[in-house]
A and B are shown apart, each in its own frame.
Chain A
Amino acid sequence: MEKQLVPIVTVPEVATVVDIREEIADVRTFYFTFDRPEIERAFRIRSGQFIMCTVFGAGEFAVSLPFSPENDRKHISVRKVGKVTAALHELQPGDKIGIRGPFGNGFPFEEIKGKNVIYVAGGIGLIPLRSSIVHVLQHRPDFGRMILVYGARSSRDLMYKDSIREWQATRDFETYFTIDRPEPGWNGQVGFVNQLVAGLNLPAENTVAFVCGPPVMFNAVIKELKLKGIKEQDIYSTLERHMKCGIGKCQHCAIGRTLVCVDGPVYTYRQIKTLGEQI
């Protein structure tokens, strides 16, 4: 086996943007490969980790990783929302970016083998969950029921439409989709994600849930999952914070006694409740 690469801590590794895909309004996916072959070969991640991405001349931002740790093209999906992400959106295939990381704890994988896995995502909250979804699918026999509940404002706001089509056609993967308001030609559900969750027959025993989305959606979904009997320590989410270093030193991402970059970004709901701060 290839030696595990230690995280790139201080000096970014140069990577080339090889492909760019429009996902939804203002969100693009950037596929990249490292320029140094030894880094390209050795770069390994866990689902749920993040990297610090440098847009040369603009700055650096923290971004979650949507690709599987195994056999998946390296990419990030980024919404144009500030100065640096806007500069990223200016890039063309062939342009360079810098990468530090991967950082953070990541979602559990070995620990949840044999369990039912529920994914609940809202909007671009699907981005960090995609890595775990693909990884679990790659090891499908090791897991119990596998369920995805995904909602967005409209059908135009659903991320990863190619992956979704693939997942809908995958056996033993129960997928449910909802949009906020009715649209011509839409065959899925209409309403908020939490309403869709409420109406589903979900397992509670031997089950873990991964939830990611805007805070309002998050809280409403947690409520429904708890009503279904899923325990707080079995509900996982990944948090976002303003980050500058990624290695637990600048302290911008402190929540309560934890730092999201080293103690997170993945937390159980039980942990989130004890942080003593807004998420």
Chain B
Amino acid sequence: MTAAVEFQSVSRHFGPVKAVDSVDLTIAEGAFFAMLGPSGSGKTTCLRLISGFETPTGGAIRIFGEDVSATPPHLRNVNTVFQDYALFPHMNVRDNVAYGLMVKGMGRAARLARAEEMLALVKLDGYGDRKPAQLSGGQRQRVALARALVNEPRVLLLDEPLGALDLKLREAMQDELKALQHRLGITFIFVTHDQHEALSMADSLAVFNEGRIAQIGTPAEIYDRPATRFVADFVGSSNVLPPDLTRALGGPAQWASLRPENTRLAASGPVTGTVTALRYLGSGTRVVLDLGGTEVAALLPAGQPLPEPGAALSIAFDPAALHVMGDAA
């Protein structure tokens, strides 16, 4: 099976700034793929390289096996849901949705009928005559989604699709996007800076840092076995242990990560430190210890007795929970 999107040492440099630097990436057909990273990490530039609004300064991009280096955006069978939706303000919702079909030459009656079907799919039946300015943020996003999907693209790109929505709407939309992708079988690629969103929606993801990919894998792999200190820290705020501390705790002399939820407090142990902070989280309490200059957090389930700040304690954990990482930052 050919990959939906393939990057072969792709770079996009803006003068001295390496927005994307020699990235290799393969996204399988039918995947729900996330690009996760802080702002400025290159994830959005990667999305724009796929849609064609940026051109690589090095390397090659293939979409379903075809090199797209000479293909302008309008001839790529790829559509985008823009972050600010970018709906056409002078057209009503129906004409917005039918736009892609119109410019490809479909007749008026046929394309408007298709637009209505698409609006029904995103649960906006009856909104066809409204102008974008008359819609709420969530409704606008559905229009943007319908407008992209009506073209039946082979790849759908979503730029921070849930960023502008409030929490409740965001959770509902996560489920809906997932269901829609499952039903249509189109490859979805979305960009986000929110690790919860990426972990819960994607079936595989790439974590970006400073123009490069730090790790690619399934959400479970990335969460449980972060490849670098950056991934461990950015995805789920793991404890990052320097080599000497890892060895003192019984591991090899290498960088390692340890999830707070796998960490317990112990009265004594190989390394003792002092409790510096307690944070009540509802489902539990996060206790932070200073272990010889390294901050290590342990998540105590609700109901356990809490230590006093300043108390001298150590930590304990199941050796299998200690994940040893390479040397990479």
Q: Are A and B physically bound partners?
A: no
On B, residues with C-beta under 8 Å from A are none
On A, residues with C-beta under 8 Å from B are none
